[in-house]
Chain A
Amino acid sequence: MNGGGWSRFNIASVTAGFAFLYLPIVLLIIYSFNASRLVTVWAGFSTQWYVTLWHNQALLDAAWVTLRVGLVSATAATVLGTMAALALTRYTRFRGRLLFSGMVFAPLVMPEVITGLSLLLLFVALGVDRGMMTVTLAHITFSMCFVAVVVQSRLLTFDRSLEEAAMDLGATPVKTFFAITLPVIAPAIISGWMLAFTLSLDDLVIASFTSGPGATTLPMKIYSQVRLGVTPEINAICTILIAIVATGVLIASVVNKRREVQRRRDEQAAQRT
């Protein structure tokens, strides 16, 4: 065996793994352009299912609800999650820290049926009418924990002497945060926001528990149709959603890469002077 290199076995297992991950998605996209109503029989290329979608008012309504819930909940979750990450990394000792970190990490693995049921019972106990508001609150709660983990991992590698320097030069803590800390952890915050947004876009179980009449989200709509069987229309919706997410991720990674290159150039320039 060649100890140091990338062996044939390594290449094969990585390739097989990625084939397994991507093949189902690729097949789904291909069959959304199928002319036949039978999903598994190929009958030529067609975009008719995308046209049908455009006239499906219930589906468009659901998409609009999902989009609004996603935007609001992702933004709120990013603010709360970033605060939680700061609390966890900057304040190593405060009363109830153990409980706090437990509450931040537990939702990451908590089965969704439990989170959904418990939040629903809370809303009922409080006498809140179920609807878009309750779905949004529920989404903020579980996605802020994901944001917290993403931001926290960036904060752990953050060079705090930059902050100290700013404060030595007379900046207030608040100003230091906005001038120094925030720009450095911004990429983590942005990816945290995107993660929260896609989690909200994606969620079926928690939304089913916490939503009420008139607040059907897209996954709920898709789920009720999937139960009736596989149709090319659903393939078409899924393809659109995948395209949106893929574009977003692609743009984000390009921006990140540019920023990284710029940063390296700046560092080199700084070393030269």
Chain B
Amino acid sequence: MTQSFAPGADPATPPPAATSSGMHGFLRGLSGKLVIIVPYLWLLVFFLVPFLIVAKISLSETATAMPPYQPTFDGLTGFLSKLSSFSFDNYLWLTEDALYFKAYVSSVVIAAISTVLTLLVGYPMAYGMARAPTTIRPTLVMLVILPFWTSFLIRVYAWIGILKPEGLLNQFLLWTGVIDTPLVILNTHTAIFIGIVYSYLPFMVLPLYAALEKMDHSLVEAAQDLGCTPTGAFWKVTFPLSRPGVIAGCMLVFIPAVGEFVIPDLLGGSQTLMIGRTLWNEFFSNRDWPVASAVAVILLLLLVIPIMIFQQAQAKTQEQGR
């Protein structure tokens, strides 16, 4: 592994062509290296380094200057000498105020419930799509992807008009006589669940569909021939075979939902505690950057395990595709 970026390390690379001169080899090496180095550097600078800065600022003290924090250390030289003077005050602050703990817990709970609900709505849909005649399947997939192209903000906004006390859903239910008094849905957790299920449904349906479509249906028939009930066959054959899709779909919904800001802010009302919103308020309203950074660090730590599960699932499907 000494030739870290050398494309020669790729076993699949065909042997150099007979006409290839030294110049070709050089160009080949260069283009191969650039393909790796350029996006690598970009992601290091704009993705990894920013996280380190967040971690650093979360350990610094709040100040009223602009930027509103006291740098804890500058450069590598100051690093060792200042190591002892790191301030964990911001983290202590988070543990002292019950608000933050409650926000974390309620974010995870809301995201988990929403993920289960999305799975319950998405699974029959994906299953139905996978069983559909092959000729219309591409159209159905297209129809699932299409809402994803329209703005997230717009799709959440559309629900305000529907869920309001004098909104379209209540008008409809009052008109049909199902209810006598308007339901209060907007600014409750129910509205958040609806918003998350609605916005993230395509993320759940697509991996599920991909897993279910590959499945050989004769396995289910075999199970039923051998005396399995349809429900038994589902739980013994279909569901286990679709598990990669279930895992990928659930992670794709759960992880962003924990840190969701727009949905709780627009549909959840002012009393909803979710950590994405707490971070936003800490940053934009209280202008407390170090505390906002500490909130972000803990949120990230909370999501490390689900993100790793997602990566693993992603890597596995990639291996299968190879």
Contact = CB atoms under 8 A, between A and B. Distances in A.
A107 B160 CA distance: 29
Given A96-B40, A100-B40, A103-B44, A111 B10 contact: no
Nearest to A167: B17
A204 B210 CA distance: 30
B34 A14 contact: no
Contact of A205 (B4, B149, B164, B261): B261
Which residue, A3, A31, A198, has most C-beta atoms of chain B within 10 A? A3
Contacts of B164: 40, 230
B128 A83 contact: no
A28 B31 CA distance: 49
Interface of A: 1, 3-7, 9-14, 16-18, 20-22, 24-25, 27-28, 31, 39-40, 80-81, 83-84, 86-87, 90-96, 99-114, 117-119, 121-122, 124-125, 137-138, 140-141, 144, 148, 152-153, 156-157, 160, 163-164, 167-170, 172-174, 177, 194, 198, 201-202, 204-205, 208-209, 219, 222-223, 226-227, 230, 234-235, 238, 241-242, 245-246, 248-249, 253
Nearest to B57: A121
Nearest to A243: B150
A221 to B, nearest CB: 11
Nearest to A153: B321
Which residue, A39, A113, A170, has most C-beta atoms of chain B within 10 A? A113
B262 A109 contact: no
Interface of B: 1, 4-7, 9-14, 17-20, 24, 27-28, 31-32, 34-36, 38-40, 42-51, 53-54, 57, 67, 121-122, 124-125, 127-129, 131-133, 140, 142-144, 146-147, 149-155, 157-162, 164, 166-168, 171, 198, 201-202, 205, 217, 220-221, 224, 230, 251-252, 255-256, 258-262, 266, 276, 279-280, 283-284, 289, 292-293, 296, 299-300, 303, 306-307, 310-311, 314-315, 318, 321-322
B150 A242 contact: yes
Contact of B31 (A107, A140, A177): A177
Given A20-B198, A107-B47, 12 more contacts: A90-B35, A105-B314, A118-B50, A119-B46, A144-B39, A167-B20, A169-B17, A173-B32, A202-B152, A205-B280, A223-B153, A227-B266
A7 B27 CA distance: 58
B158 A28 contact: yes
8 contacts: A6-B128, A14-B125, A21-B143, A28-B157, A105-B314, A141-B46, A160-B12, A167-B14
Contacts of A5: 131
Contact of A113 (B38, B146, B255, B276): B276
Given A24-B198, A87-B40, A112-B261, A121 B50 contact: yes
A238 B166 contact: no
Contact of A238 (B4, B154, B251, B255): B154
B314 A22 contact: no
B10 A119 contact: no
Contact of A204 (B128, B149, B252, B262): B262
B289 A226 contact: no
A81 B310 CA distance: 20
A54 B237 CA distance: 57
B155 A24 contact: yes
A35 to B, nearest CB: 16
